[in-house]
Structure 1
Amino acid sequence: MSNTALLVIDFQYGLIDGEPQATRGAATLAALNELIALARRCGHAVIFIQHHDADDLPRGSAGWQLHPGLARLPGDAVIEKEAADSFLNTALGQYLDTLGVENLWLGGYASDFCVDTTVRRAASLGYAVTVIADAHTSKDRPHASGATLVAHLNWLWPNLAVPGNAIRVLPLAQLHGESA
């Protein structure tokens, strides 16, 4: 196993296909599946993060399920969380430590909540973070469209002042080129 892992954050049926639907949901699913395939070819761990909320995403509900279109394998790790931060009160950090992971690729949902919080936390913990620009999505919010939020965060993350390892944002095609 390599020292890189892919985190697919909260790409759950109710969040993507529920009303209102996620921006670019089908395109993001296709990009995530291509990213998952690339990670596997490179020998990287693929880890699915699954949000639980007793009111909106109760365990076992249809909406809580990871999206059925995701290219998951039975041995893929699934880590549940109850906060926007994928590290907070979860086994994620310990699991990454046991694998010797130093680098993270990230994609998923919601760019402006759980993806953003996890990107910042991972960078603060010293991981080298690469966000795949076309493999994360959001929804329209009262003040901005989902597409605007994704574009804004793709600009913001590499411009954050993060000591040590910078946060990179790359389109999937460029990541393919680097990984060849």
Structure 2
Amino acid sequence: MCKEAAMPKPINKQQLLDEAQKKYEALERQFASLTPEEMVRPEVIGTWSIKDILAHLLEWQKMLMDWYEAELRGETPAVPAEGYNWSQLPALNQAIYERCRDTALDDVRSQLDASHKHMLEVVASLSEEELFTPGRYAWIGINTLASYVDSCAGDHYRWALTGIRRGTKVWSGETPAAKPVHRAAAGTSKRVRTKAPKNPGGTALLIIDVQRDLFEKTTPIYEAEKMLANIRLLVDKARAAKIPVFYVQHSNDKELVEETDGWKLHPALTPLPTDHFIHKHHGNAFEDTTLKAELDALHVHHVVVAGLVTHGCVQATCNGAHELGYDVVLVKDAHSNYDAKARDVIDEWNEKLSHGIVQLQAAADVDFQSAQALRQPAISPPTGR
């Protein structure tokens, strides 16, 4: 991410409002001198024009306000949208693009301006508790309303600003065009992109296969609640540090069949629109997926790994990341399995992988703010306890 994106997340209402307004004004300045023809010129981010980018921002803000207002009416909103779950963001973003691509430029700009003002007016009317209390609204899970506002305003504006800067430089020949790194799905805010700026510390969080069906085995996941709590802690830390979060989901023809309820992420996990999703068919999350390309586009050199299962996809992904040259941190108390001797399996693989493949750290000790800290060996012995 750029230096601006490395700023801490807002911790009070005024910071939230100020950050959103600051980034919106910066975005307006970026395209203020462009002609109408340049505003609709394609291939600024992926295949999108600046108008398409602005329409994308508009639609996500409208969805956020729809979710909030539906709950005020006593209704249960469809989040993120009717017929879509959080693992289907590429398809949802493509649908948004197709729905809005023929909207006139002037209409998009005027509607986005009105949407931005309305969203900030709503935020200004709410208390600190309403904005920053986790789980205050049913549809946000364990997150806060402020985190969704920051995602649909601050984060989205930063993404758009960076993409427009790079795209217009390509027009002028100041920088070579970068190839999209994700499968063609024109219309994703975080998945179809030109070469991205560096993120703080060059780090990403990989959450492996925390899917519903794995919690329905005859032998239950060992210490499932503890593992889920530690994964949520990691996600909160990553978001606070502006570190990208990747959710990896496995599928095959017999179990974890794609798009079934059992294939979906565990309900304890509540991704944001700016998170990333990788669908895989092998144990190693890098095999036959776009994971490496997406990490490279974000200038990631260090990965922090958690999830399921220890002796399967977790160890395979740790080994795969190491073979590709990434520094790997395995969070020793944020991975598990459903083996009859699950504790022994965790200890065994923590011990094996700690010899030259990963650094072991407890969830409480992971510091996404410091890449150097992520490279340090765990202080405690590699027992996994």
Q: Is TM more than 0.5 here?
A: yes
Q: How does 1:109-148 map to 2 (within 5 A)?
A: 109-141=308-340, 145-148=341-344
C-alpha distance in 1, partners of 2:363/2:234?
7
Cα drift, residue 22 of structure 1: 1.0
* Deviation per residue, 1:23-65 (Å, 9 max, x gap): 1111101000001111111221000000011111111212100
Structure 1 letter corresponding to 2:365: Q
User: Partners in 2 of 1:87 and 1:134 — Cα distance?
Assistant: 23
Secondary structure of the 2:263 match is coil
Q: Secondary structure at the match of 2:261?
A: coil
- The structural deviation recorded for 1:176 is 4.4
| Contact residue 33 and residue 71 of structure 1 kept, 8 A | no
**5+ unaligned residues in a row in structure 2: which ranges?**
1-198, 374-385
**Counterparts of 2:289 and 2:367, CA distance in 1:** 30
Aligned-partner Cα distance in 2 for 1:14–1:79: 18
Counterpart contact for 2:241–2:369, Cα < 8 Å: no
| Partners of 1:18 and 1:63 within 8 A in 2 | no
The answer on whether the counterparts of 1:6 and 1:39 sit within 8 Å (CA) in structure 2 is: yes
Q: 1:87 to 1:177 in 2, by over 3 A?
A: closer
Would the aligned equivalents of 1:12 and 1:63 in 2 still touch at CA under 8 Å?
yes
**Structure 2 match to 1:163:** none
Deviates more, 1:20-29 or 1:123-132: 20-29
Distance 2:347 2:315 in 1: 13
- The corresponding residue for 2:362 is 171
Higher percent of residues as helix: 2
User: Is the partner of 1:63 in helix, strand or coil?
Assistant: helix
Residue 19 (structure 1) shift? 3.1
Distance between the aligned counterparts of 2:360 and 2:299, measured in 1? 23
Is 1:52 the counterpart of 2:251? The answer is yes
1:85 aligns with 284
- 1: CA distance, partners of 2:303 / 2:215: 23
Distance 1:30 1:5 in 2: 19
**Which residue pairs with 2:270 in the alignment?**
71
Structure 2 counterpart of 1:155? 351
1:46–1:77 CA contact under 8 A, matched in 2: yes
* Aligned residue-pair number: 172
SS of aligned partner of 2:344: helix
Question: What displacement does 1:147 show?
Answer: 1.1
Q: What do the CA deviations read for 1:64-120 (whole angstroms, capped 9, x no partner)?
A: 001111131122111000010100100001000111100000000001000000001
Which one-letter code corresponds to 2:361 in the other structure?
L
Q: Over the residues paired in the alignment, what is the CA RMSD in angstroms?
A: 1.7
Q: Distance in 2 between matches of 1:106 and 1:72?
A: 16
* Equivalent residues of 1:31, 1:135 under 8 A apart: yes
Q: Shift of the alpha carbon at 1:5?
A: 0.1
The answer on whether the counterparts of 1:80 and 1:90 sit within 8 Å (CA) in structure 2 is: yes
Structure 1 distance, partners of 2:282, 2:328, is 20
Larger radius of gyration: 2
Partners of 2:273 and 2:351 lie apart in 1 by 35
TM-score, normalised to structure 1, is 0.90
**Secondary structure at the counterpart of residue 107 of structure 1:** strand
Q: State the 4+ residue runs in structure 1 displaced beyond 4 angstroms.
A: 176-180
Q: How big is the shift at 1:177?
A: 9.6
3-12 vs 66-75, greater mean Cα deviation? 66-75
Asked which structure has the greater RCO (Cα within 8 Å, sep 6+), the reply is 1
Residue in 2 aligned with 1:32? Answer: 231
Q: Distance in 2 between matches of 1:155 and 1:167?
A: 10
Q: Deviations over 1:109-161 (max 9, x none)?
A: 001000000001101110000011101011115xxx1111111111111114x
| Cα distance in structure 2, aligned partners of 1:177 and 1:130 | 11
For 2:310, the aligned partner's letter is: S
Identity of aligned residues (%): 30
| Structure 2 SS opposite 1:97 | helix
Q: Secondary structure at the match of 2:353?
A: helix
Amino acid at match of 2:322: A
